[in-house]
Chain A
Amino acid sequence: MARPSRRLVRNYSHDLRLIGTRRGQLFLVALLALYLWLPFQLDDFWASVLTLAGITAIGALGLNLLTGYTGQPSLGTAAFIGLGAFTASYCGRPEDYGGLGWSFPAYLAVAIVLGAGVGYLVGVPALRLRGNYLIIATLGLVFVAIYIWRSWEEVTGGNAGVPMPIDVEIFGLNFTNLEVFGETFGRNQGYFYLVWAVVALVALLCKNLVRSRPGRAFQAVRDRDVAAEVVGVSLFRTKVGAFVLSSAIATVGGVFYGIWIQYLVPDDSSLGLNLSISYLAIIIVGGVGTIYGPVIGALLIGAMPAIIDEFAGQLPFVSESATDPGISKPALQTLLYAILIIVFLVAEPNGLAGVWRRVRDYFATWPLAKRGS
């Protein structure tokens, strides 16, 4: 008797499984091993780059809940990154630097509450209507946020910037100065462990959400909002819920970003519109509406700023300063993000996740796959 395909879904509980297949379980075990092994191998630069990729993956997972699953594009990510970073700084930096000197779990919790609160305040007016007012409102939020960061010198240091908390200690482990079983890790390597553990937690949260009631409501609103309302989904509550959640997650990303960058000066180049758009680029390239898409996107292009900063100087057409002939590094980075957004949206709207699905299905159904379907 023929064996049914591994991915054939035979009943509802089957469809809701956390990890679909045996192969998926093996893959996760391999990822876990890689996670434990990598910091031993990475030098400071690459550990830092991969940590930044993990941090952007956190924010991208949050944005994907809103944009990928609920169909509401937002440009506000940069504002929430800033909120997280400056909350961490003010609550967590030592009292000598004008902070409160709280512990890591305390300021992380405060940041989450603040992120959700700001998300609620902006989401309620912006999401009352059909139509995409949220993207305009969040666009405004980015500018208002920068104004606040620049003006509120007590918390953010104004144009001079502020240092971030140094020690990141939770469960008795200090991840920026990690010592386990007599093994000592560098700052970047230890922080890598913490950040990617959080990525896994957030991904698990998102996965559980989208395979349960609220997540199905998100997707119903995205796919056909009138029909969703007919079956009893409140459009307003669902959209606001998605935005609040995505804001809180982005703020968590901001806390980790602040600790990564160590010293943050609020201005248009660090926390401006382009940062928000780069998060959109990540989920578009990775694949909207999947859990692994944003993580893939973040791994491939989330750390692009750091990589361009390190290596782009070797390219002949890249100039060191903005006034020399040739393209400057920030401009090159912006250009690449822009091209990726446009090309993927036009040619491959499901992103790399979509490419992967096609390849997988081609081989799974071989030799029956139809070309170009």
Chain B
Amino acid sequence: MTKFFQLVASGAALGAVYALVGLGFVVIYRATGVINLAQAGMVALGAFLVYNATATWDLPFWLAVLVSMGLGALLGIVLERLVLRRMVGRPVYAVILVTVGILLLIEPIVTTIWKNPASNIESPWGLEKVTIGDVNILQVDIATILLAAAVLGVFFAFFRYTKYGVAMRATAVDQEAALAQGINVRRIVALSWAIAGVVAVLAGTMLGAGAGPGTGLGIGITVISLKALPAVVLGGLDSPLGAVVGGAIIGILEVLTAGYQSDVLPFLPGGFAAVMPWVVMLIVLVVRPYGLFGTRDVRRV
């Protein structure tokens, strides 16, 4: 049983990472109806921004994260301003392809500037562990779970109680109607990108500091972040709560698969856990395509 709880704890941390990345996908999807694949690249870039701030600029960890969050928000706004805004009125597939282009753009930039970093992001948690019963949990894993919970809480408060949050929900339902109510839709979309940038930096920080069973700081963060897509599909593409629940389910399933594959699925070759989220996603698309908390898009012809 110890092994089981150990795996669940590690899986929950991975799930929290997926949730953080997934919230970025959801924010953009709600505001614009576009699956922003560049989010995964922004997470990787965010991780390297924090690394740069701590290792090169010698900032203390918390300040480095704050500065990077600012830079992340700026990056989101700049991307929206320079690229995405020019795509308004184009077919959705063209907009998605632009985000694919941005995803592709980030990889050579990151690998050329930072090469292979010598270490992970130096975080206050390091590799310290907490022992509960027989279960050892990395402190960074606990911090990741708390952070994801906190961000989800902020999201709820923001969408429910602030003017901009309500305006964002209105924009998500119907852009034209929102415009008619005097909402500045452009500003709302820019704000969504800024939020996505901030969340990406947070997710990147935790991945780069070694949360979950990832490999730490490297361009591989992109591949891990893309696995948040199965999580948001499971949760429902337009639901922040769905991103968190879906992330937790996928993260825990993935780590459990890695831990028990030799007992449960001995006929499958090793490494199945890494692709399991995608297999789960295909099943979800068959069984419950709008996910657990997603809005059904009903359209009669």
Contact residues of A: prevailing secondary structure: helix
Does A177 have its Cβ within 8 Å of any Cβ on chain B?
A: no
Does A73 have its Cβ within 8 Å of any Cβ on chain B?
A: yes
Does B223 have its Cβ within 8 Å of any Cβ on chain A?
A: yes
Q: Report Cα–Cα, A342/B84, bound state, in Å.
A: 10
Partner of B104, one of A132, A332, A338, A349: A338
Q: Report Cα–Cα, A339/B269, bound state, in Å.
A: 38
User: Which residues of chain B come closer than 8 Å to A75, judged between CB atoms?
Assistant: 100
Which A residues are within 8 Å of any B CB, using their own CB?
Answer: 67, 71-73, 75, 122, 125-126, 128-133, 135-137, 139-141, 143-144, 147, 150-152, 222, 226, 229-230, 274, 277, 280-281, 284, 322-323, 326-328, 331-332, 334-335, 337-339, 341-342, 345-346, 349
CB-based contact A122/B282 at 8 Å: yes
Partner of B285, one of A128, A151, A322, A335: A128
CB-based contact B100/A277 at 8 Å: yes
User: Which residues of chain B come closer than 8 Å to A73, judged between CB atoms?
Assistant: 93, 96-97, 100
Q: Which residue in chain B gives the minimum CB-CB distance to A145?
A: B275
**Distance between B224 CB and nearest chain A CB, rounded to angstroms:** 11
A-contacting 9-mer, from B9-17, B107-115, B149-157, B193-201:
B107-115
CB-based contact A345/B272 at 8 Å: no
* Residue in B35, B83, B109, B112 with the greatest tally of chain A CB atoms within 10 Å: B112
CB-based contact B289/A133 at 8 Å: yes
Q: Told that A274-B107, A334-B108, A346-B83 touch, could you supply 11 new A-B pairs with CB distance under 8 A? A: A73-B100, A129-B285, A130-B299, A136-B281, A140-B279, A147-B271, A147-B275, A334-B104, A342-B102, A345-B101, A346-B87
Q: Report Cα–Cα, A135/B278, bound state, in Å.
A: 12
Number of interface residues of B (CB under 8 A): 50
CB-based contact B275/A143 at 8 Å: yes
Partner of A139, one of B101, B107, B226, B297: B226
User: Which residues of chain B come closer than 8 Å to A277, judged between CB atoms?
Assistant: 100-101, 103-104
Q: Report Cα–Cα, A27/B244, bound state, in Å.
A: 58
User: Which residues of chain A come closer than 8 Å to B297, judged between CB atoms?
Assistant: 129-131
**Distance between B236 CB and nearest chain A CB, rounded to angstroms:** 12
User: Which residues of chain A come closer than 8 Å to B272, judged between CB atoms?
Assistant: 147
**Distance between A338 CB and nearest chain B CB, rounded to angstroms:** 4
Q: Report Cα–Cα, A150/B275, bound state, in Å.
A: 12
Q: Report Cα–Cα, A334/B116, bound state, in Å.
A: 18
Does B274 have its Cβ within 8 Å of any Cβ on chain A?
A: yes
Partner of A151, one of B92, B271, B301: B271
CB-based contact B91/A222 at 8 Å: yes
CB-based contact A346/B112 at 8 Å: no
The 10 closest A-B pairs by CB, nearest first: A140-B278, A151-B269, A341-B101, A338-B105, A331-B108, A338-B104, A335-B108, A125-B285, A342-B101, A229-B301
CB-based contact B301/A226 at 8 Å: yes
